[in-house]
Amino acid sequence: MNKKLRNRVVRISVVIGMCIPVLFYGCGPEKDGKNAAMKEKPALPVMTVKLSDATVTTFYSALLEGKVNVEIRPQVDGTLQTIYVDEGSLVKAGQSLFKIEDRVYREQYNSALASQHAAEAKLVVARLDEEKLVPLVQNKVISEIQLKTARANTHAAQAAVEQAKAAARSAQVNLDYTVIKAPVSGYIGKIPLRLGSLVSKNQSAWLTLLSDVSEVYAYFSMSENDFMHFRQQYAGVTIQDKLRQVSPVSLVLSDGSLYTEKGVIGSVSGQFDQTTASVRIRAVFPNPHGLLRSGNTGKVVIESLSRKALLVPQAATVELQDKVFVFVLGKGNSVKKQVVTVSGKSGNNFIVSTGLKPGDTILTAGVEKIQDGTVITPVKNAAAGEVRK
């Protein structure tokens, strides 16, 4: 055998050797298909939902306002001469806040007071004239008509005195208005004007906003359906009777912390807002340390007892595009994604109003990764009524 033929035989042998394993591999079992078929069904916990009583916790966004909010405005015209307080200061009722230049009003008062004194002097003269005529009339020295004229002059002088006194009091009021005092105790808000600013009793802008925050009002809105349900929970004929039965409410501050003081539902608006179909409700919270201020925001937390409710653990739900889903166990142990309506919260559980019925079995774990229609091996868990609240 020549050299070329021998090399060709060697190459053919190498190719055959490489093909034999491929042929054997191709003739083997279809591992992927069989492995998929042989995979074990995932074992996941399930529970059967049923009706039970639960404490419902509902959160309502609220805007906080002081018990009294007073817009401090000038009552006379002039320039701002003195500012006695600073923004954020705590003041007492009757404390001086601002002073307006008072020279004009002091002179007006002095002038009115002088006019009063002049009128009082004329009254004295009129009375003397009347008194000296009395014996002359009695002795028939002069006619009675002269005495009547003197008495009329006395009455006119008395009226002039009263008019002068009224003008003096009015001037005194304007003079007193130059010192603006706090009508209530509270905290000073923003002071937009500065010394020398021209102020007027007709101006629209206020000098500052004074807030009495010894108590704070938390205003929130409740939908018509929620209010109807809320009203039906408590005994009583009138709304005020029902409000007295409501348990104290809590307040969650904007940073998520819980306010230490409990509040009460104080009042309900007399009508519903037609644009939002909601009613305005006011909760009252004590504020002994001045922690809360007007303009703060928070959430009013109301707890109520819901009877015969369907409880579903929050961990058993998935939220997607503003909808809440659970996985319901169906025939053949396959799971189906189901939309539910959450009407409230009780501890770590949701209260479901629609989408489930008593006796349904749902998946309680692994809901983030499970696919709709997956067949599982169910592992019995606690019933809904037995879930810790």
pLDDT exceeds cutoff 60 at 14: no
61-69: average pLDDT: 93
323-352: average pLDDT: 89
Distance CA 223, CA 204 (A): 36
pLDDT exceeds cutoff 60 at 9: no
Q: Quick one: what percent of the chain has pLDDT higher than 70?
A: 87
Model confidence over 127-167: pLDDT tens digits? 998 888 888 888 888 888 888 888 999 999 999 999 999 99
62-85: average pLDDT: 94
Q: What is the pLDDT of residue 337?
A: 92
Reading the block at residue 172, the tokens are: 């005194």
Nearest to residue 214, comparing CAs of 266, 292, 283?
292
Distance CA 106, CA 76 (A): 13
Model confidence over 45-56: pLDDT tens digits? 999 998 888 888
Mean pLDDT rounded to a whole number for the chain:
85
- Beta strands 377-380 and 43-48 are parallel
Domains parsed from the chain with CATH numbers? 43-54+307-386 (2.40.420.20), 59-66+213-306 (2.40.30.170), 74-101+179-205 (2.40.50.100), 103-177 (1.10.287.470)
Q: Quick one: what percent of the chain has pLDDT higher than 90?
A: 52
Nearest to residue 98, comparing CAs of 117, 125, 119, 73?
73
Query: 13 pLDDT band (50/70/90 cuts)?
Result: low
pLDDT exceeds cutoff 80 at 27: no
- Beta strands 323-329 and 377-380 are unpaired
Distance CA 368, CA 316 (A): 9
Q: What is the pLDDT of residue 23?
A: 41
Q: What is the pLDDT of residue 322?
A: 82
Distance CA 105, CA 333 (A): 91
Q: What is the pLDDT of residue 385?
A: 44
Q: What is the pLDDT of residue 382?
A: 47
147-151 contacts: CB < 8 A, separation 24 or more? 150/126
Q: What is the pLDDT of residue 128?
A: 93
Largest Cα separation within the chain, whole Å, is 187
Model confidence over 184-210: pLDDT tens digits? 999 999 999 999 999 999 998 999 999
pLDDT exceeds cutoff 90 at 168: yes
Residue 197 CA to its chain's centroid (Å): 35
- Beta strands 349-354 and 335-346 are antiparallel
Q: What is the pLDDT of residue 389?
A: 39
pLDDT exceeds cutoff 70 at 92: yes
Which residues have CB under 8 Å from 164's CB, separation 6+? Answer: 112, 115, 116, 118, 119, 120
